[in-house]
Amino acid sequence: MTSCPVFAWVSLGSNHDRHFQISRALDELAERFGKLTLSAVYETQPVGIKVKECAPFYNLIAGFYTSLSPGELNRVFKTIEGDAKYLLPEDKSIYVRALDLDLVTHGDKSGVIEGVELPYRQLLKHDFVLLPLAELVPDDRAPGTSRTYAQLWQEHAHPEQKMQRVNFTWKAPD
């Protein structure tokens, strides 16, 4: 455990039973960490997946305070993903990712910490990670850089990555 709570961002994604899987993950995160800061939910077309069929994803960013270390957080995320992370259809040309949680930042840490690369190694490649941060905390600096999320978005946006906000309703547990 870290001694003082730090703010962490996690990326959530699902392309199978999307509303259920994302809601389930948010319920578990809220139960473990309390109040969550959430981005808009985006429906995104698959990026870099080379199979015949891959349904669009729901993606968002959630933030919360934690005293867990990056490695401990990563283990919690794997528990939340559970056996549902990858569904393996018989037809291997179909890609299904029921739920994926990736630690994006952990306070201002940068580098490989407890086997976790911080900030998230795909931060500048995946608009579904960078855009929500640019919208939520535009003036915050990305760990390990001198650039704000708004600056990084301006420099690294990928217009070919198709994203669309969706109407997504989730009620935080009482």
Q: Provide the CATH number for the domain around residue 38.
A: 3.30.70.560
Is there a domain that residue 160 lies in? yes
The predicted model scores a pTM of 0.88
- The closest alpha carbon to 170, from 14, 9, 8, belongs to 14
Range of the domain at 15: 6-166
Q: Is residue 110 part of a domain?
A: yes
Residue at 173 is within a domain:
no
For residue 102, is it within any domain?
yes
| Structural domain total, the chain | 1
User: Does 76 fall in a domain?
Assistant: yes
> pLDDT tens digits for the chain (174 residues)?
556 899 999 999 998 889 999 999 999 999 999 999 999 999 987 766 655 666 888 999 999 999 999 999 999 999 999 865 455 555 555 556 789 999 999 999 999 999 999 999 989 888 999 999 999 999 999 999 999 999 999 998 888 888 999 999 998 877
Considering only CA atoms, which of 57, 24, 25, 26 is closest in space to residue 42? 57
Residue 78 within a domain: yes
Give domain status of residue 138, yes or no: yes
Is 92 inside a domain boundary? yes
- Tell me the HSE value of 67 on the side-chain side, using a 13 A CA sphere: 3
